[in-house]
Structure 1
Amino acid sequence: MTAYFERLGETTFRATSATEGAWNVTEQHIAPTLGLLAHLMQLEHATRHEHPLSLAKVNYDILGVIPIDEVEVQVRVLRPGRTIELLEATMSHDGRPAAVARAWFLKPHDTADVAGAAFPTMPSRDGMPSWDAPKWPGAFVRTPDIRRSEQFPGRAHSWIRPLIPLIEGEEISPTARMLGLVDIANGLTPRVSPSEVAFPNLDLSAHLLREPVGDWLGFDTTMSIGPGGLGVTHTVLHDDEGPIGTSVQELTVRPLPVGR
């Protein structure tokens, strides 16, 4: 497995076996798709801006499952601007939309004198044990290097480093690279075994403070389940220099049939 996607044309890509999902190995894990959509929005944005704006916030809606097959991505500008811009990217399979992203791009300003965050510090990955995702099938969850310290089910710190590129032979930004991993948060610290309860996410929303640096990304993750079939996975994202931003995933929680 050399990458998650192969580019076939300007808007078409082929998913590789590295995208095998955690719930069904014949379907794509959504994580690489989120990175692909971010990358293509950044590429389109850069064609119109001599000095590109910063990708600040992105919301993804997952419309359905995506087979490990050829897909198409269309990008359009919803709100053009010199200081604030909104783009949308849609991934489709066989003519059916499967995932949609909307991203806000903002003009950078020098705010170094007032920069700061009150998020708790991530523990060091030194001495943190490797984690091979024993509860999950599918290839994707085994493509990154994962170090994890779980305080209890539903609460964990993890450091993750991607080991294969998003697209074969194509350079991507550190932000798109990060967004191609963030969906893995929902499986890092399940409150209940995924063999007993399904809890796929419907969406993912990421709010960013800056572009990440370095190879490793820190996940300070909490998973919560309500009494009526709803759940939330919340993650504070870090790199070696501190907080990068946050991600939130809304979950649909469904007990699985006995003997499944």
Structure 2
Amino acid sequence: MPRGEQTADGVTHAAFDATPSTTGPWFADAQHMGPPSALLVRALERLPESRASGAQGGWRIARVTVEVLGAVPAGPVTVTAGVERPGRTIELLSATMRAGDRDVLRARAWRLAASDTSVVAQGQAAALPGRDDAVVRTERPDGWLPGFLDAIEWAWLDGGRLGDEGPGRGWIRMRVPLVEGEEPSPAQRLMVAADCANGLAAPLDVTRWLFVNTELTVHLHRAPAGEWTGVDAATVVGPDGLGTCSATLFDDDGHTGRIAQALTVRAR
């Protein structure tokens, strides 16, 4: 829920109050990282061009990395954003989320000038099966809290349900707006879905193990479209407490990007 926005000296400042739809499955007083990550992307998308642009086709965000500095409380937060490295065709953007007296999330993104490369487009992954082949599941695993999980529509292609071990594929859509009174952009929707990859590809028994992502990196080779994001995710766990979740992302037009999450893995 927005509490006000302003821009001064090229830096945007915005304040928000979290709603119950943001709370994660483990702690009722902390947010799932999907909505706050998308809120940072919202701030990045709204940054004006820093100088006269050579981007005749507009701008595209090519990569976003969100660093998790701490738990995001289910309460008031502020977001600041600005252009770190201005340019005519390449810009580096940054955004920070703050709760109380501490930074909780920090994002950086490369924003690139778009141009027509349709005649040489190549390398895209095969399309994910459509939602007609998916199974909609609404139940939560035992012990998982309501909030964010109930604010998402889950259409599973395989992998069973949230928390089941092994790779997972499915389609994800937000049931509620990211910001009250606004239609989320496709990139904001995609960020929410991207942070769910670790849940779709749970590598271990969630009652015995924690596997928490410390960051989220998203690469996009084209702008996403639509309300639904397809996720094809798998997780690797190493022998010394580290793991990596990676996923391919889709929309109704096909492959749109890839993500990776660094995981800390430990017994409960």
Say yes or no: TM over 0.5: yes
1:22 counterpart (22, 25, 40): 25
Q: 1:171 to 1:235 in 2, by over 3 A?
A: same
Q: 1:29 to 1:48 in 2, by over 3 A?
A: farther
| TM-score of the two chains, using structure 1 as the length reference | 0.91
Q: Distance in 2 between matches of 1:49 and 1:126?
A: 45
1:121 counterpart (80, 104, 127): 127
Q: 1:203 to 1:49 in 2, by over 3 A?
A: farther
Q: Distance in 2 between matches of 1:160 and 1:118?
A: 20
1:208 counterpart (212, 216, 220): 220
Q: How big is each residue's C-alpha offset from its partner over 1:58-100, in whole Å with a ceiling of 9 and x where there is no partner?
A: 0110000011110011112210111000011000000200000
Q: Distance in 2 between matches of 1:172 and 1:159?
A: 17
One-letter amino acid of the structure 2 residue matched with residue 101 of structure 1: A
Q: Distance in 2 between matches of 1:54 and 1:92?
A: 26
1:140 counterpart (136, 139, 148): 148
Q: Percent identity?
A: 37
Does the 8 Å CA contact 2:165/2:205 hold for their aligned counterparts? no
Does the 8 Å CA contact 1:132/1:142 hold for their aligned counterparts? yes
In the TM superposition, residue 49 of structure 1 has moved relative to its aligned partner by 6.5
Q: How big is each residue's C-alpha offset from its partner over 1:156-198, in whole Å with a ceiling of 9 and x where there is no partner?
A: 1101111111000124421122113310111113122212101
2:246 aligned with 1:234 = yes
Q: Distance in 2 between matches of 1:222 and 1:154?
A: 7
Q: 1:198 to 1:63 in 2, by over 3 A?
A: same
Does the 8 Å CA contact 1:196/1:255 hold for their aligned counterparts? yes
2:83 aligned with 1:77 = yes
Q: Distance in 1 between matches of 2:111 and 2:139?
A: 34
2:6 aligned with 1:8 = no
Matches of residues 41-190 of structure 1 in structure 2 within 5 Å? Answer: 41-45=44-48, 52-132=58-138, 134-135=140-141, 136-151=144-159, 153-190=165-202
Q: Which moved more, 1:191-200 or 1:121-130?
A: 121-130
In the TM superposition, residue 22 of structure 1 has moved relative to its aligned partner by 2.1
Q: How big is each residue's C-alpha offset from its partner over 1:131-177, in whole Å with a ceiling of 9 and x where there is no partner?
A: 33633323102211111133583211101111111000124421122
Paired residues in the alignment total: 251
| TM-score of the two chains, using structure 2 as the length reference | 0.88
Q: Which residue of 2 aligns with 1:3?
A: none
Q: Distance in 2 between matches of 1:205 and 1:129?
A: 28
Aligned-residue RMSD, C-alpha: 1.8
Q: Tell me the secondary structure at the aligned position of residue 137 of structure 2.
A: coil
Q: Tell me the secondary structure at the aligned position of residue 110 of structure 1.
A: coil
Q: Distance in 2 between matches of 1:28 and 1:183?
A: 12
Gaps of 5+ in 1: 1-5
Q: Which moved more, 1:17-26 or 1:115-124?
A: 115-124
Does the 8 Å CA contact 1:158/1:218 hold for their aligned counterparts? yes
Q: Distance in 2 between matches of 1:211 and 1:42?
A: 12
